[in-house]
Every structure is written in structure tokens, then in C-alpha cells.
Chain A
Amino acid sequence: MTGGWQRLHPLTTLVRGGRGTIAIVVILVPSLLDGGNTSRTITLLAVAAAFFGMSFVRWLVTRWRIEADDLQIETGLLGRRSLRYPLAQVQAIDIVRPGLARLFGVAELRLRMGGSSGGTARLAYLREDEVEPLRVQMLRLARGAEEHEEEIPAWLHETLLARVSTGRLIASIVIADVGIVAELVLAGLIVAGVLAPNAERGIFGGGAAWAIAVGTRIWRRFNQEYGLSVSEAPDGLHLRGGLVGLTAETIRPGRVQAVRLVEPFFWRPVGWCRVEVDLAGKQKVEGEGRAQRGQLRALLPVGDRATAELIVERLVPDRPRELVAPPGRVRWKSPLRYRKLAYGRTDTCVATRSGRLRRVTVWVRLEKAQSLRFVQGPLQRRLRVASVHVDVAGKTLHAIARDRDAIEARREIDTLAELARAARRAA
């Protein structure tokens, strides 16, 4: 397939528009059926035509090819842009299929590039059945392998680590913090409705906006985490799942800034937990939904301890096994947290545990540490304790060892600085 310029799938025009397309259809259809207000219909048609016209031109002027070891994409009508992505620098190739794309049988290929720029090449959209072979071919070229190898090579094989079942996902959301709040409010609304039927309207009106917000959150979570599976492959962990939109993503070990294991209060009786990772903040991609940004990526939405351990083991094999509790005098400062607080480290990895109701364990590999901080508040000074922060380039996570003995904490800062330097050198 080397050579020849190719176009993207013609339906790209429709799918790219995404919500815009849906909105236009929704507005247009009734007004067309209505047939009354002609001038308005014409305006709408003109807007739609302009919209699709631009989209179509964009499709028309965009072409791509694989030339030697590069992926080349040319685009732009007036300002012509020619992009070259050396396949040798490809870190991972993901397949993304939003809901609309699935409807039309197309898919997007997303190449995550390495190097200092760390950009992302997008081929959106291609025919669904074309995507997988193309991915394999590109990965082969990336490895500098022969182009016409027959079988799927060994390095593409992956072993399944975990897959969340629908039943458990639903159960976990029902007893998660958001779920329980939603249920309580719902119950409250029903009770209020029964007891005071007259006030019902006002109560529901007030609750509606809130209910929508919570509903969206729950839906988004369900949609993203439905059928999520993690498997291990030589190039990292492969993540697949989704209900309406499907994604397949590769998480290279190097992209992971921090790993965390969350055990929500209400899940503890059943022994479930959740594993999430924070990825480098730089890799923001347009087309990655707004909700996905600034959010941790769940590798295991819900699972038992053993499965979680299995995944954590893949990400931070060098993690400390034994965590040490802070001095007992801290109990007066953080009564709720005290029993969960713990800290431990090896020469290459730091682990901290905290949380008031839920228990959160965070692992950070020292080679990823961006800076270290020692913080001591007034109450902490009175108790002769201090917190040690290990900052990483993730979006939200960093490791905080709270309320350690002050002298130990100060010494720990120096030791960690030393260890982090060694870890960076080794990396």
C-alpha cells in the first residue's frame, strides 16, 4: 500500500460535524415538514449548505499516504499544510470510534508520536474494516519489519488482564457516592411528592437542573466504562471499551505519571476498588472530548483487590510493599484520615495513602517527579509534623505524604531529591 495518495472516507463530512450535524437535522426536519415559513427554511438550508460545503471542501483537499517510513497528510485549501509523521517515532496507534462514526461504519486512527513534540496524527475517518489492517501495517513499518509478513506478529499479541462486567459496573455506580446521593434525592422527591402534592411542581422544578447534572455524570461514566477491558501487550497496556463511542487506547508505561487505587467507602464491604492513571498533561488532543480532559483515566472502573493488584503491578512493579503510618499524635489533627494515612518508598517509587471516607493510594515513580515540596502548616508545627509532596506532570494527581514527623520529612526531602536524580539518570 506504499505510494498512492488516498482520500479519507467520504462520510467524514457528516461525521466530523458530529453534534453540529445532529443539531442541523433536528432543526431542519420539522421546519421542512412544516413548510409554512419559507424564508426561515431557506436561511436554515443556506446555513446547512455552507456548513456541509466547508466540510466537504476540507475533505476534498485532504489526502494521505504512506511513503517509505512516513505517514504524510496534506490538507488545507488556501493555506496548504503538509504534515509528515515518521512512523519510527510512533509510540502507539489507537482506534477511536465515536457514536456517530459507528453509525456510519467509519473509524478514526490516532497515532501518538514520541519525540519532544509528542504530537498526535489523526486520520479521521477511514472505513471500519480498513482500520485494523492499516494499524498493523503501520506498526510493522514502525518496527522496521518487512512489509509483507503473513501472520500477525508476536509483538501484537496481548493478554487480557481484566474486563469489567456490565452487572458489576451498574452495581458499582448504584452504590458509588454519586449514585447514593442521587438515590437519596430521588427518594426525597418521591416522599415530598406524596406528602405535599401541591408543592410537587416547585420541588421538581428546583431539582431538575441538578438531576440533569448528576444524570449526565452517571451516564458519562457508564458510557465510557461500559465493557472496558485492559490487556497487556509489549507496547503497553491496551484499553478498550465504551457503549456508544468505542475507544481503543494504548497506554505506554512512560506516559503514566501517577497511579491511584481508590476504595470508596460504600464499596469497602464488597471489597471493590478502582484503578486510575494520570497521563502526561501535554497530550491534549482535539477531538478528545472535553470530559476526557483533566480527568483521570480509569483502567479498572470496578474490580476486586486481586485484579487491581495485577494491574498496579504492571504499572509500578517497583512499588513499596510496606507503608508506614504517621506518628500517633497526628490523630488529633486529622481524626478521620488518621487510620488511612501511610507512606512508603523504595529507591524508585513513592506510595502514599490518604482519604477521609474513601481510601486512596497513590503511586508515583521517582523518575517522573517534577519537584518536591515540604509544607508545614501552623497546626502541623505544633504537632511537629509536616507534609511531603512529590509533584508530577499529570493533570490532577500528585503524591502527598501527609503529617510525617517533621524531622523525618525534612530528611526525606533530601533523600528523595537524591533518589529522584538517580532515577532520572537511569531512565
Chain B
Amino acid sequence: MSDDWRGISRSYLALRRLEVVVAAVAAAIVFAIFLNGWYRLWVLGALAAGVFGLVIVQRRFAAWGYAERADDLLVKRGVLFARLSVVPYGRMQFIDVTTSPFERLIGIATVRMHTAAAASDARIPGLEKHEAARLRDRLAELGESQAAGI
């Protein structure tokens, strides 16, 4: 298979990393303030969990990918549970593009394709704003030209 796989934006990784760091540091500070004696070791525990979280975030980021083929969109994700979805353009019912406030700040968005099946799973997070818009338009166009009924 020589599919043209694309990864997602590094800004997405940065945001996820920031989340992990903030959570770990906050936990460490809370432990440092409220715990005494040997219990203070929990501070190290929180920081270690943070490092572990960073590794996971990195790997999950690397696992994301999508490829636009002639008739369908491929989306892969997941480290522990590896998933690959194939969604034919013709099956698409609508597309939505969403951004959280933080994502908007760094200019990334999530594009999601909906089909008639609830189980279909075609979500691509962390797309640069212009890439998200391009993908949305392209999918809409392809979806229209290949539309099939239920």
C-alpha cells in the first residue's frame, strides 16, 4: 500500500504536552503543600507520572494519521488499541469542524466525518486551520459527487 499518509500538527502535541505538564506540576504542588514527612515522596510520584504521561502523549501523537484515497478516507490512531477506519466519501452525511478555546489560540481544529452508522469513527484532531478548511471542503465536494443512499 502506498497510501499518502499525513500526520497531524505539532501544535496539537504541544497542547497535549502542556496539559500533562500543568496537571503533573499542579499535583506536585498540592502534594508538597499538604503532605508531610515520607508522604512527600508523592511529589516525586506526581512528577514521574508526568514524565510517563509525556511519553504516552508523544506516542499517541505519532500514531495519528490520515490518508485521502481516491474513494475513501483512511484514519489511523491509537497506541494500545490500534485502529484504522476506512470511510468511503459517498457514505458521508455531514462533516463538522470543532475547536476548543485553547485549540483556537494555537490555530488547530478537529475535523469529523459522520456517516449513517453511529459506530463509524473518522475523527482527525489537531489539523492546522487552513488544512482543516481544505479537508472539509474537499470531503464535502467528494462526498457530494460520490453520494450513495443508505
Contact = CB atoms under 8 A, between A and B. Distances in A.
Genuine A/B complex: yes
Interface of A: 116, 257, 280-282, 368-378, 381, 386, 389, 391-394, 398, 410, 413-414, 416-417, 420-421, 424, 427
Interface stretch (B15-23, B24-32, B35-43, B85-93): B85-93
A116 to B, nearest CB: 7
A373 B121 contact: yes
Interface residues of B, number: 25
Given A376-B81, A391-B119, 7 more contacts: A282-B116, A374-B82, A376-B82, A377-B81, A393-B116, A398-B119, A417-B86
A414 B148 CA distance: 20
Contact of A375 (B83, B86, B117, B148): B83
A376 B85 CA distance: 12
B117 A393 contact: yes
Dominant SS at the A interface?
mixed
A414 B115 CA distance: 19
A314 B32 CA distance: 70
Contacts of B80: 377-378
Contact of B81 (A257, A370, A375): A375
Given A373-B85, A381-B82, A391-B115, A421 B149 contact: no
A194 B71 CA distance: 69
Contacts of A424: 88, 90, 148
Nearest to A392: B117
22 contacts: A116-B149, A282-B116, A282-B150, A369-B91, A370-B115, A370-B116, A370-B117, A371-B86, A371-B121, A372-B86, A373-B83, A373-B84, A373-B120, A374-B83, A374-B84, A391-B115, A391-B119, A392-B117, A393-B115, A393-B117, A410-B84, A417-B86
Contacts of A394: 117
Contact of B117 (A386, A391, A417): A391
List of 6 A-B pairs having minimum Cβ-Cβ separation, nearest first = A393-B116, A370-B117, A391-B117, A371-B120, A374-B84, A372-B86
Interface of B: 1, 71-72, 80-88, 90-91, 115-122, 148-150
Contacts of B148: 424, 427
A375 B120 CA distance: 12
Given A375-B81, A378-B81, A398 B86 contact: no
A368 B81 CA distance: 26
Contacts of A280: 116, 150
Contacts of B116: 280-282, 370, 393
B82 A370 contact: no
Nearest to B84: A374
Nearest to B115: A370
A188 B55 CA distance: 53
Contacts of A371: 85-88, 91, 115, 117, 119-122
A417 B72 contact: yes
Contacts of A420: 88
Contact of B85 (A116, A257, A372): A372
Nearest to A377: B81
B86 A413 contact: yes
Contact of B71 (A386, A393, A421, A427): A421
Contacts of A381: 82
Nearest to A418: B71
Contacts of B72: 417, 421
